[in-house]
Structure 1
Amino acid sequence: MNKVYPDAKSALAGLLKDGMTIMSGGFGLCGIAETLSDAIRESGVKNLTVISNNAGVDGIGLSRLLETRQIKKMISSYVGENKLFAQQYLAGELELEFCPQGTLAERIRAGGAGIPAFFTKTGVGTLVAEGKEVREFDGEKYLMERGLFADIAIVHAWKGDTAGNLVYRKTARNFNPMMATAAKVTVAEVEHLLPAGQIDPDHIHTPGIFVKRIIQVGTALKRIEQRTVRKREPAAAAGEEV
């Protein structure tokens, strides 16, 4: 089957519908499927449930879907860098399911592995445990968490081939590999697209069997979410030890 599509709009054609659940890879602004999320915005689909570690920052990535009120609910672990996210949540305009970051990663991995639920000590005795089953194992209390599975997953990879095999670069690996396994259809955007067989099998992070559609977007803009610098030390006088 031909997995390569000319652009994001065509790659998402026939997949989007109101009320669906979408997984979106990335961490902060690193490894986000920005081209695909912008195409979702342009489609006008609404009442979405989006599973993502966070919603980026104002004006970039998933935040652009918040601007158009297309997201009904977020399942996330961190939202501190997005003022619009906070405003909509506090105003009661956006549903939010907070999930500890490690638990979120495991819920996604479990969904991709066909595991409906698992038990973890994280969150026991806190607000996270409200409404969830708590069970005791070997004298310790554990909280039951459900696996997550989406209608579609959008992921960003550094390199891919026409068979859908993907390679992520460094920190951009984050949630992308897990999400690629945990949806009915995974759509990938890649910076470099190669013919099938040109990627060393030992270097593949996501096997092509998980990827149904793929587009090439060119080298991604490496955005910096928070720039932190220190003051430059004054230059030493000539002959002075440093």
Structure 2
Amino acid sequence: MSTILLDVEALQVAYGDIQVVWSADLQVREGTTTALIGSNGAGKSTLLRALSGLLHPIGGHIRMSGRDLTGASPQNFVEQGIAHVPEGRRLFTGLSVHDNLMLGAYRRKDGKQAIRADIEKMYALFPRLAERRNQDATTMSGGEQQMCAIARGLMASPRLLLIDELSLGLAPAVVDQLVLTLQQVRAAGTSLLVVEQDVGIALEMADHVYIMDQGRTVRHGPAETIAADPSILSAYIGT
């Protein structure tokens, strides 16, 4: 069994006086895709924001390869190998595709040659971005913007990529292509933690699935086990 990369224990997260995550326990193993599913308002996006340092937990622990990152800055999370693809893409308006990708590498210290090589890898992984490298990234289609957001995250050279709502607002054919591309990303050595509203997509791409409800992780297991449970399918897919 692969080693634990990310270990989240009894995490609690709040926005000021409003607590959203009450008790989240989650692990991501090296070389795997882990999915986090649950209804709207369950706390999934809030949890991901805490796992990238954008929110400071009020309780519990976040460990990356055994190192405690609880309360660390976003820069520390990036330096320890975690990159976040936020819901809604959040590309920089007025900047080209190429410049958006370059900003993903802003904390890297391995030199311009390595960064240029990875830019070309991103263009090979997402050929559509190569065609639009000089275009304002925010003027592309939703699918192309999601490709750019994922590529920007990968430009940080992460060991773990967090993706919030991969399929939101995208055509099924585009989502299928993104899933295939992310399988390549994982095969190349980057582990994935994906928040996904479409449970069918989550079950398709994940090795392990966590279910979040009312701010708590309430169940987890191998994707095939979760997919075979009729009570879960009824609650989250409506079958």
TM-score, reference length from structure 2:
0.31
Higher RCO, 1 or 2 (CA under 8 Å, sep at least 6)?
2
Q: Which one has a larger percent helix, Structure 1 or Structure 2? A: 2
